[in-house]
Amino acid sequence: MPIRPTDQVLHKAAWLYYTHGMRQDEVAKHLNISRASVAMYLRRARETGIVNIATSTQLFADDVLARQLEDAIGLKSVWIVPEDRHALDPTAEMPVVAAAVFLELIGKGGRVGVAWGRTVYHIADVMPFADLQGVTVVQLCGNLGAPYSYRPDQCTTEIARRLNAEGINFYAPLVLSSERLAHELRQEPVIQEQLATIPDCTLALYSVGGIEADSHLVKCGALTAEEMKALGEAGAAGVIAGQVIDREGQLMDCTHNRRCISADLDSIRSIPKRMMVVQEDEKLEPLVAAIKGGFASHLIITASMARRLLDRLSGTMAPGSGT
């Protein structure tokens, strides 16, 4: 694409204002335009990510609980979204924190795998605009026409759009009606190639799904409430990228999983930074399973969840090296 002159002005205005600290009227004089235009350009520069204003997420990582959790379960980093009285609504805040952390974790030229779910969609929705050329956003799981329109491809596309990154969608359904068909589809070169690129990701973004009757997979029609109930009785504990895992975080041996087209769990585990974001208080058990399964290296949760998680894990895992 050739260089559009409009973009040049946008860049110049942003550079002079933000990097040089000129006032808007100085920029206007410099570029021979009106100050109002400068203000407009600057807004667009912010909106398109030419200018990136990032606030350190340190605030959320600087929490005693966060440190304890890091020590207790050996995670790289934990961010705690506070729930105290005059804090903001933690449920609304979490995606914002997650988006900021996400931006901090992507490096130039990185490859990011994005899964699907309500949480991920909300994160996409508040993702700031940035100019991350060279970044690729790939979809971690197949598609599912959801009634709530949180389609997997939408999550990927939206994030890629906001980051000025390349988005690679996955043109396969998440669940097929037969194991045979799923197997055959996975053999297709297009699909196979895409699945093969997933271990190259440097960062993964997902949540863990629950296995209740009102869980996402059930609501979207991938499983009936009965099937889900049966899976629960058979030892299921959560859902990762559309696939059901047991209490130890291992892939369940079940029809549903065999009918799924999604990133292989081992591929996901091999991604260096695995960002797990959990909003719902009910997801303690799924989260424990996901952590045991090695699906989280970076965790973003509420303070109450952090406390419960710490209680829950301090018994079953090594007590860690912290004081």
Q: Which is nearer to DNA, 20 or 183 (CB)?
A: 20
Q: Which is nearer to DNA, 36 or 234 (CB)?
A: 36
Query: Which residue in 20, 43, 180, 183 binds DNA (CB under 7 A)?
Result: 43
Find the part of the chain contacting a second copy (CB under 8 A) among 103-111, 115-123, 217-225, 260-268.
Answer: 103-111
Alpha carbons 104 and 100: distance in angstroms, whole number: 6
- 20 touches a second copy by CB under 8 A: yes
116, with CB counted inside 10 A (0-12, 13-18, 19+), is buried
Diameter of the chain measured on Cα atoms: 71
Alpha carbons 242 and 270: distance in angstroms, whole number: 18
- 129 touches DNA by CB under 7 A: no
Find the part of the chain contacting a second copy (CB under 8 A) among 4-12, 114-122, 190-198, 286-294.
Answer: 4-12
Residue that has been written with the tokens 């940035």 in this structure: 130
Alpha carbons 229 and 221: distance in angstroms, whole number: 14
- 23 touches DNA by CB under 7 A: yes
Q: Which does 295 bind (CB under 5 to 8 A by kind): DNA, a second copy, none?
A: none
Residue 130 contacts residue 162 (beta carbons within 8 Å): yes
Residues sharing a CB contact under 8 Å with residue 216, sequence separation 6 or more, in sequence order? 117, 118, 209, 210, 239
Q: Which is nearer to a second copy, 20 or 180 (CB)?
A: 20
- 35 touches DNA by CB under 7 A: yes
Residue that has been written with the tokens 């002005």 in this structure: 9
- 103 touches DNA by CB under 7 A: no
The minimum distance between CB 26 and DNA, in angstroms, equals 8
Query: Which residue in 53, 85, 233, 323 binds a second copy (CB under 8 A)?
Result: 53
> Beta strands of 129-226 (E only): which ranges?
136-139, 166-168, 203-206
Alpha carbons 237 and 31: distance in angstroms, whole number: 60
Alpha carbons 143 and 175: distance in angstroms, whole number: 8
Residue 241 contacts residue 201 (beta carbons within 8 Å): no
Query: Which residue in 20, 36, 55, 230 binds DNA (CB under 7 A)?
Result: 36
Q: Which does 25 bind (CB under 5 to 8 A by kind): DNA, a second copy, none?
A: DNA
The minimum distance between CB 62 and a second copy, in angstroms, equals 5
Helix (H, G, I), strand (E, B) or coil at 259: helix
- 85 touches a second copy by CB under 8 A: no
The minimum distance between CB 51 and DNA, in angstroms, equals 11
Alpha carbons 122 and 318: distance in angstroms, whole number: 34
- 56 touches DNA by CB under 7 A: no
Alpha carbons 139 and 169: distance in angstroms, whole number: 5
Q: Which does 15 bind (CB under 5 to 8 A by kind): a second copy, DNA, none?
A: a second copy
**Cα torsion 186, 187, 190, 195: sign:** positive
Q: Which is nearer to a second copy, 30 or 219 (CB)?
A: 30
Query: Which residue in 25, 62, 248, 266 binds a second copy (CB under 8 A)?
Result: 62
Which residues here bind a second copy, judged by CB under 8 A?
3, 7-8, 11-12, 14-15, 18-20, 30, 45, 49-56, 58-59, 62, 86, 88, 96, 100, 104-105, 107-108, 131, 133
Binding site for DNA (CB under 7 A): 6, 9, 17, 23-25, 33-37, 39-43
